[in-house]
Amino acid sequence: MSASTHSPVLKHHFGDLNQQHASERLGIWMFLATEVLFFAGLFGAYACYRLWYAAEFEFASSFMNVKFASINTFFLVTSSLTMTLAIRCAKLGDKSGIYRNLLLTFALGSAFMVLKGFEYAEDFHEGILPGASSFGVTTEQHNIKHEAEERGLDTGKVRLFLCFYYIMTGIHGVHIIIGLGCILWLVQMNYANALPPENYSTVEVVSLYWHLVDAIWLFLMPMLYLAGAHIPRLH
Amino acid sequence: MSDPNLVPATPPGHNDVLGHVDSPPTLFMVYAAILALFALTVFLSSTGQFGKYTLFVQLAIGSVQAGLVAYHFMHLKHGDRIVVLTALASIFWMGILFVLFMSDYMSRSRVVG
Gap from B110 CA to chain A (nearest CA, Å)? 13
Return the bridge partners of B78, or none. Answer: none
Please list, in sequence order, all residues whose beta carbon lies within 8 angstroms of the beta carbon of residue A110, skipping any fewer than 6 positions away. A180
Mutation test of the interface with chain B: which of A50, A51, A84, A207, choosing the one with the most B Cβ atoms within 10 A? A84
Mention every residue, 6+ apart, whose C-beta is less than 8 A from residue B98.
Answer: A40, A44, A47
Q: Is the CB of A81 less than 8 angstroms away from the CB of B41?
A: no
Can you give the pLDDT at residue A143? 85
- For residues B16 and A229, which has the higher predicted lDDT (pLDDT)? A229
Note whether A219 and A43 are within 8 A (CB): yes
Of A195, A212, A171, the residue nearest A31 (C-alpha): A212
Q: Does A227 touch chain B (CB under 8 A)?
A: yes
Out of A88, A197, A218, name the one closest to residue B14 (CB): A197
User: Which pLDDT score is estimated for B12?
Assistant: 43
Question: Which pLDDT score, from 0 to 100, does residue B8 have?
Answer: 47
pLDDT of B11 reads 45
Is residue A80 predicted with pLDDT exceeding 50?
yes
Angstrom distance (rounded) from CA A204 to CA A24: 9
CB-based contact (8 Å) between B84 and chain A?
Answer: no
Report the alpha-carbon distance of residue A218 to residue B111 in Å, rounded: 35
Grade residue A1 by pLDDT with cuts at 50, 70 and 90.
Answer: very low
Distance from CA of A198 to the nearest CA of B (A): 7
* B45 and B59 Cβ atoms separated by less than 8 Å: no
Would you put residue A11 in left (φ > 0), alpha (ψ -120 to 50) or beta?
Answer: beta
* B82 closest CB neighbour out of A26, A36, A231: A26
B52 close contact with A: CB closer than 8 A:
yes
**Residue B55: predicted pLDDT:** 82
Residues of A in contact with B18 (CB under 8 A): 91, 197-198, 200
pLDDT band at A189 (very low <50, low <70, confident <90, very high): very high
Residue B16 has pLDDT above 80, yes or no: no
Q: Quick check: B25 pLDDT over 50?
A: yes
Q: Give me the interface pTM, i.e. the ipTM.
A: 0.91
Q: What confidence tier does B27 reach under pLDDT thresholds 50, 70, 90?
A: very high
> Would you place residue A3 in the very low, low, confident or very high pLDDT band (cuts 50, 70, 90)?
low
Q: CATH class for domain A17-225?
A: mainly alpha
In the predicted structure, residue B102 carries a pLDDT above the cut 50 = yes
- Cβ <8 Å between B101 and A44: yes
Q: How many CB pairs lie under 8 A apart between chains A and B? A: 160
Name the more confident of B106 and A173: A173
- pLDDT single digits (tens) B29-78: 999 999 999 999 999 988 878 887 888 899 899 999 999 999 999 999 98
Interface test with B, best of A52, A77, A221 (most B CBs within 10 A): A77
Q: CB-CB: which of B46, B87, B94 is closest to A29?
A: B87
Please count the CA atoms within 13 angstroms of the CA of A52 that sit on its side-chain side. 18
